[in-house]
Amino acid sequence: MDPKTPLNKHKKKRLTQDQVKLLERSFIPNKKLEPELKLRLASQLGVPPRQVAIWYQNKRARWKTQSLELDYTTLQVKLENAVAEKKRLERHVKHLQEELRRAQEMLYALNSNRREDNINGKNNDYNYYNKNTLVSCTAITTTAEEGGRSGLHEVEEVLQLDDELYASLIAGGNRSN
Protein backbone atom coordinates (compact mmCIF):
# COMPACT_ATOMS: atom_id res chain seq x y z
CA MET A 1 0.00 0.00 0.00
CA ASP A 2 1.20 3.52 -0.82
CA PRO A 3 2.08 5.44 2.39
CA LYS A 4 0.70 8.67 0.89
CA THR A 5 -2.82 7.24 0.34
CA PRO A 6 -5.14 7.73 3.30
CA LEU A 7 -6.94 4.63 4.58
CA ASN A 8 -10.42 6.18 4.51
CA LYS A 9 -10.21 6.78 0.73
CA HIS A 10 -10.43 3.02 0.05
CA LYS A 11 -13.09 2.35 2.64
CA LYS A 12 -16.59 2.94 1.27
CA LYS A 13 -19.29 4.08 3.69
CA ARG A 14 -22.49 2.08 3.57
CA LEU A 15 -25.73 4.02 3.28
CA THR A 16 -28.18 3.95 6.18
CA GLN A 17 -31.79 2.86 5.74
CA ASP A 18 -32.96 6.47 5.88
CA GLN A 19 -30.47 7.45 3.18
CA VAL A 20 -31.61 4.56 0.99
CA LYS A 21 -35.28 5.56 1.50
CA LEU A 22 -34.50 9.11 0.38
CA LEU A 23 -32.68 7.81 -2.70
CA GLU A 24 -35.57 5.41 -3.45
CA ARG A 25 -38.09 8.28 -3.23
CA SER A 26 -35.97 10.41 -5.56
CA PHE A 27 -35.53 7.48 -8.00
CA ILE A 28 -39.27 6.99 -8.60
CA PRO A 29 -39.78 10.20 -10.63
CA ASN A 30 -36.16 10.47 -11.88
CA LYS A 31 -34.66 7.32 -13.36
CA LYS A 32 -31.74 9.37 -14.72
CA LEU A 33 -29.61 11.35 -12.32
CA GLU A 34 -29.13 14.97 -13.38
CA PRO A 35 -25.97 16.73 -12.08
CA GLU A 36 -27.86 19.25 -9.93
CA LEU A 37 -29.99 16.47 -8.37
CA LYS A 38 -26.83 14.45 -7.68
CA LEU A 39 -25.22 17.38 -5.83
CA ARG A 40 -28.40 18.16 -3.87
CA LEU A 41 -28.85 14.49 -2.80
CA ALA A 42 -25.15 14.18 -1.89
CA SER A 43 -25.34 17.23 0.39
CA GLN A 44 -28.64 16.05 1.96
CA LEU A 45 -27.22 12.57 2.61
CA GLY A 46 -23.74 13.68 3.60
CA VAL A 47 -22.03 11.37 1.08
CA PRO A 48 -19.81 12.07 -1.94
CA PRO A 49 -21.69 12.78 -5.23
CA ARG A 50 -19.89 9.78 -6.79
CA GLN A 51 -21.56 7.44 -4.27
CA VAL A 52 -25.01 8.84 -5.20
CA ALA A 53 -24.17 8.36 -8.88
CA ILE A 54 -23.09 4.75 -8.32
CA TRP A 55 -26.21 4.01 -6.26
CA TYR A 56 -28.38 5.41 -9.09
CA GLN A 57 -26.49 3.38 -11.69
CA ASN A 58 -26.93 0.14 -9.70
CA LYS A 59 -30.59 0.90 -8.93
CA ARG A 60 -31.32 1.60 -12.60
CA ALA A 61 -29.71 -1.73 -13.58
CA ARG A 62 -31.82 -3.60 -10.97
CA TRP A 63 -34.95 -1.71 -12.08
CA LYS A 64 -34.37 -2.64 -15.74
CA THR A 65 -33.86 -6.28 -14.81
CA GLN A 66 -37.08 -6.30 -12.79
CA SER A 67 -38.92 -4.60 -15.65
CA LEU A 68 -37.66 -7.20 -18.10
CA GLU A 69 -38.69 -10.03 -15.76
CA LEU A 70 -42.15 -8.50 -15.39
CA ASP A 71 -42.46 -8.05 -19.16
CA TYR A 72 -41.34 -11.65 -19.70
CA THR A 73 -43.91 -12.94 -17.20
CA THR A 74 -46.65 -10.88 -18.83
CA LEU A 75 -45.71 -12.17 -22.28
CA GLN A 76 -45.55 -15.74 -20.98
CA VAL A 77 -49.12 -15.46 -19.62
CA LYS A 78 -50.31 -13.96 -22.91
CA LEU A 79 -48.63 -16.78 -24.84
CA GLU A 80 -50.23 -19.44 -22.64
CA ASN A 81 -53.63 -17.79 -23.12
CA ALA A 82 -53.12 -17.61 -26.88
CA VAL A 83 -52.11 -21.29 -27.05
CA ALA A 84 -55.18 -22.28 -25.02
CA GLU A 85 -57.42 -20.18 -27.28
CA LYS A 86 -55.82 -21.73 -30.37
CA LYS A 87 -56.53 -25.24 -29.05
CA ARG A 88 -60.13 -24.26 -28.22
CA LEU A 89 -60.60 -22.85 -31.73
CA GLU A 90 -59.05 -25.95 -33.31
CA ARG A 91 -61.52 -28.15 -31.40
CA HIS A 92 -64.37 -25.90 -32.51
CA VAL A 93 -63.22 -26.05 -36.16
CA LYS A 94 -63.03 -29.85 -35.93
CA HIS A 95 -66.56 -29.96 -34.51
CA LEU A 96 -67.86 -27.68 -37.29
CA GLN A 97 -66.09 -29.76 -39.95
CA GLU A 98 -67.78 -32.88 -38.56
CA GLU A 99 -71.17 -31.14 -38.65
CA LEU A 100 -70.53 -30.06 -42.23
CA ARG A 101 -69.50 -33.61 -43.19
CA ARG A 102 -72.72 -35.02 -41.69
CA ALA A 103 -74.83 -32.40 -43.46
CA GLN A 104 -73.10 -33.16 -46.78
CA GLU A 105 -73.72 -36.89 -46.27
CA MET A 106 -77.38 -36.17 -45.50
CA LEU A 107 -77.69 -34.01 -48.62
CA TYR A 108 -75.97 -36.64 -50.72
CA ALA A 109 -78.35 -39.31 -49.38
CA LEU A 110 -81.36 -37.10 -50.11
CA ASN A 111 -80.14 -36.35 -53.62
CA SER A 112 -79.45 -40.06 -54.21
CA ASN A 113 -82.95 -40.98 -53.04
CA ARG A 114 -84.47 -38.30 -55.24
CA ARG A 115 -82.49 -39.48 -58.29
CA GLU A 116 -83.50 -43.07 -57.55
CA ASP A 117 -87.15 -42.11 -57.21
CA ASN A 118 -87.00 -40.10 -60.45
CA ILE A 119 -85.39 -43.05 -62.27
CA ASN A 120 -88.01 -45.46 -60.91
CA GLY A 121 -90.82 -43.04 -61.74
CA LYS A 122 -91.93 -42.75 -58.15
CA ASN A 123 -93.55 -39.61 -56.87
CA ASN A 124 -91.32 -38.12 -54.25
CA ASP A 125 -93.03 -37.26 -50.94
CA TYR A 126 -89.87 -35.85 -49.40
CA ASN A 127 -89.33 -32.23 -48.50
CA TYR A 128 -85.77 -31.84 -49.60
CA TYR A 129 -84.55 -28.33 -49.11
CA ASN A 130 -85.05 -24.78 -50.10
CA LYS A 131 -82.45 -22.04 -49.99
CA ASN A 132 -82.17 -21.87 -46.19
CA THR A 133 -83.63 -25.11 -44.81
CA LEU A 134 -82.71 -28.77 -45.12
CA VAL A 135 -85.24 -31.32 -43.89
CA SER A 136 -84.31 -34.94 -43.53
CA CYS A 137 -87.08 -37.46 -43.82
CA THR A 138 -87.91 -41.16 -43.53
CA ALA A 139 -85.06 -43.25 -42.25
CA ILE A 140 -84.49 -46.81 -41.17
CA THR A 141 -83.62 -46.76 -37.50
CA THR A 142 -82.87 -49.19 -34.75
CA THR A 143 -83.96 -48.09 -31.32
CA ALA A 144 -83.21 -49.48 -27.91
CA GLU A 145 -86.79 -48.81 -26.76
CA GLU A 146 -88.07 -51.21 -29.42
CA GLY A 147 -85.79 -53.98 -28.26
CA GLY A 148 -83.29 -53.38 -31.00
CA ARG A 149 -85.84 -53.83 -33.82
CA SER A 150 -85.27 -51.97 -37.03
CA GLY A 151 -88.10 -50.06 -38.55
CA LEU A 152 -89.15 -47.32 -40.88
CA HIS A 153 -89.69 -44.10 -38.95
CA GLU A 154 -90.29 -40.49 -39.78
CA VAL A 155 -87.26 -38.59 -38.64
CA GLU A 156 -87.60 -34.91 -39.12
CA GLU A 157 -84.53 -32.83 -38.51
CA VAL A 158 -84.47 -29.25 -39.62
CA LEU A 159 -81.18 -27.51 -40.12
CA GLN A 160 -81.07 -23.76 -40.62
CA LEU A 161 -78.41 -23.02 -43.18
CA ASP A 162 -76.71 -19.78 -44.01
CA ASP A 163 -75.92 -18.99 -47.65
CA GLU A 164 -72.28 -20.09 -47.38
CA LEU A 165 -73.13 -23.47 -45.83
CA TYR A 166 -75.93 -24.01 -48.34
CA ALA A 167 -73.56 -23.29 -51.23
CA SER A 168 -71.02 -25.67 -49.71
CA LEU A 169 -73.61 -28.42 -49.33
CA ILE A 170 -74.88 -27.98 -52.87
CA ALA A 171 -71.31 -27.99 -54.22
CA GLY A 172 -70.59 -31.15 -52.24
CA GLY A 173 -73.76 -32.81 -53.56
CA ASN A 174 -72.98 -31.82 -57.13
CA ARG A 175 -69.42 -33.17 -56.90
CA SER A 176 -70.70 -36.59 -56.02
CA ASN A 177 -73.17 -36.74 -58.94
Q: pTM of this prediction?
A: 0.45
Question: Which DSSP helix (H) or strand (E) runs through 63?
Answer: helix 49-119
CB–CB of 112/103 below 8 Å? no
pLDDT tens for each residue of 3-16: 555 555 556 688 99
Residues 6+ apart with CB under 8 A from 108: 172, 173, 176
- How far is 108 from 172, CA to CA, in rounded Å? 8
CA 47 vs CA 6, 14, 42, 127, 162: distances in Å: 17, 10, 5, 94, 77
pLDDT tens for each residue of 79-138: 999 999 999 999 999 999 999 999 999 998 888 888 777 777 665 444 444 444 554 444
